[in-house]
Structure 1
């Protein structure tokens, strides 16, 4: 039976065109729209139908047919957007490409990163043009984010252990993420805090008086979000044992207790190890070295800091500890568990992408 429908336009690429299209697809600075058009042409050149190409690349048959026809008619130039109403372009594609390349691959002599003004002065373009190009390509030279890669030789195994424990806890057992927030400072402002008024935010003095510190030992129940906390003035194995005894007392008998811990020395002292051996229902699971982000209690500490400690004024350590206990009690009246959104394999896959971006990484 003869095939019906509009016949697709034959598409054959030269070696130069194929190399150019594949180069744009691989380059990280290529816009998503342009990269998709390049992928469409490369797929069409393999003989696939418009419907198959659309299904593979998440587009529509109509769009695939349009870019196929425009490429056959005008080659690579046909993949560009058609001229819109308004004045003619004053910035060429070559200037845009040079601007993006300079932003990604160089830095100014008198600074660590480019600004719109310094880049405009260097390239001869206007500041608004530089800003528009940076927005179009998602470039933000003024921003910098921190990261750290673990060197733990058992990193993969520990990630699977901790994440698997949180996603699928064992039966008749509770999983607690345990850590200490050490040296929480009790700070009192040098002058009284001025309360917020209409049109005027709360005002506090920039200087403060240190009146002491405390350490908060905390255990976050992964399933319910409830926390068990205990502030102590010192941060030693003795205080760690006291907190484990408190945890043992508050968890019903007959339930196993799995602890997610980091590699802080206090958790691995002989005294703590001996105590854990004497209480076989406790099962420690250590996060990889330098990977405290795997411990969910760190997220809870961030909320405590943001909502209670950072803007607080405490005249004594006793007042600070009282406020912390009050905040914990209020949290436990309506606890909110933190939910893992990625599996261990997804975490490791994303880590592999970071490793590929580090030139001297061979692992």
Structure 2
């Protein structure tokens, strides 16, 4: 039988275990955290941690803060405890055992700010050696702090923003077909993979052995080129392909005729394709007028990522073309046809998950980070 004293002790123990760590910010700490949240160049993960600490300092519960930032209450509690114990440094990697810290919070903040907001006088980006010399720190210290904050000055990525005046309308149109296709209709992603080269390495390929990868010479002999016209059925992942030695509106029209023959006549056909000139010639427009069940949906200029057949082309390149050896165009075309036929025995559709509004919001967030974007 549980005694009142035991009940009280048990209740008191539970209360102590669930008590959240008290978090009080100094004026300097609050200013620093708010600055990180406002700064556009702040890494997203770091900005979220700053928002967590600010919300906790304002008296919000771990559960409410978690709902605010999309995190569990337990995760919020861990960041709260780490900040209480280690202050701003606790928002990076967990401290390791060893001697006392030799780098202050102010030095960490200065290093991160310098990395994000400046470049060295004689280079396009910071290195650990250059930053260490600039701030009087060791290279290993700079490296550890960069890892903690997810900073990689030596890396860059490319991007391209479409200048199509109808970008928004086209995104809604194409994504709408992916996520809510019309009834009694088939949606196809159509494009051409041009200049596929039949290549023969100048010397025999050395096969893979234990501990040694396959080896090929860097130079090769060209044996000709071909063009693959392909239509990826969005619903099933099946592909209709046609190979031609040239890439003109005449060949594209032949491909449309093939689609018309292979697709059941009682179904409407929606084609998603880019703005290439061969897709819009008078001959193609006349053919479309004579075949009203075909409807064209053009992706925005510079937005090939909206066309799912590009993802299928990547599969073909990686698994068949890039390391293939073909002594003639005929051999190359034979392998491509065989690969398409094999694919169609067990096709795998690509599932589009982002709505048009999500895509446009993400684009807007990029534009907000570019000072002269005009957004």
TM-score bracket, normalised by the shorter chain, equals 0.7 to 0.9
Picking from 133, 141, 149, the partner of 1:137 is 149
Question: 1:273: Cα distance to partner?
Answer: 0.8
Q: Does 1:247 align with 2:252?
A: no
Give 3-state SS (helix, strand or coil) of 1:178's partner: strand
Contact 1:176 1:257 (C-alpha < 8 Å) held by counterparts: yes
Matches within 5 A, 1:1-363: 18-27=30-39, 28-29=41-42, 32=45, 35-36=48-49, 38-42=51-55, 44-45=57-58, 48=60, 52-53=64-65, 55-57=67-69, 58-60=71-73, 67=80, 81=90, 85-363=97-375
Q: Distance in 2 between matches of 1:252 and 1:113?
A: 57
Question: Which range is displaced more, 316-325 or 119-128?
Answer: 119-128
Measured at CA, do residues 173 and 232 of structure 1 come closer, stay the same or move farther in structure 2, by a change above 3 Å? Answer: same
Deviation at 1:36, TM superposition (A): 3.3
Mapped contact 2:36–2:50 kept (Cα < 8 A): no
Shift in Å, 1:131: 1.7
> What is the root-mean-square deviation of aligned Cα atoms in Å?
3.1
Using a 3 Å threshold, how does the CA distance of structure 1 residues 135 and 110 change in structure 2: closer, same or farther?
same
Following TM superposition, by how much is the alpha carbon of 1:53 offset from its aligned partner in structure 2, in angstroms? 4.3
Cα–Cα, structure 1 residues 88 and 291, in superposed 2: closer, same or farther, change >3 Å?
same
In structure 2, what is the Cα distance between the partners aligned to 1:201 and 1:66? 45
What is the number of residues matched between the two proteins? 354
Quote the offset at 1:51 in angstroms.
5.5
SS for the counterpart of 1:358 is coil
Q: CA deviation at 1:144?
A: 1.5
Partner SS for 1:180: strand
Kindly provide the CA deviation profile for residues 173-208 of structure 1, in whole angstroms up to 9, marking residues without a partner as x.
110000001111111110111111122111100011
CA distance 1:215–1:8, change in 2 (3 Å) = closer
CA shift for structure 1 position 40: 4.2
Counterpart secondary structure, 1:185: strand
Name whichever of 123-132 and 288-297 sits farther off: 123-132
- Quick one: distance in 2 between partners of 1:37 and 1:105? 19
Change (3 A) 1:34 1:91: farther
Shift of the 65–154 alpha-carbon distance from structure 1 to 2, 3 Å rule, reads closer
Distance 2:273 2:54 in 1: 52
| Residues 1:294 and 1:63: Cα distance change in structure 2 (over 3 Å) | closer
Taking structure 2 as the reference length, the TM-score comes to 0.84
Q: Distance in 2 between matches of 1:65 and 1:192?
A: 58
Query: Does the 8 Å contact 1:259/1:284 carry over to 2?
Result: yes
Unaligned ranges ≥5, structure 2? 1-14
Distance 1:215 1:18, change over 3 A: same
2:259 is paired with a residue whose SS is helix
- Tell me how far apart the structure 1 counterparts of residues 147 and 25 of structure 2 sit (CA, whole Å): 32
Does the Cα contact within 8 Å between 1:50 and 1:65 map onto a contact in 2? no
SS in 2 for 1:229: strand
Give the direction of change, closer, same or farther, for the CA distance of 1:113–1:90 in structure 2 (3 Å limit).
Answer: same
Which secondary structure state, in structure 1, belongs to the residue aligned with residue 300 of structure 2? Answer: coil
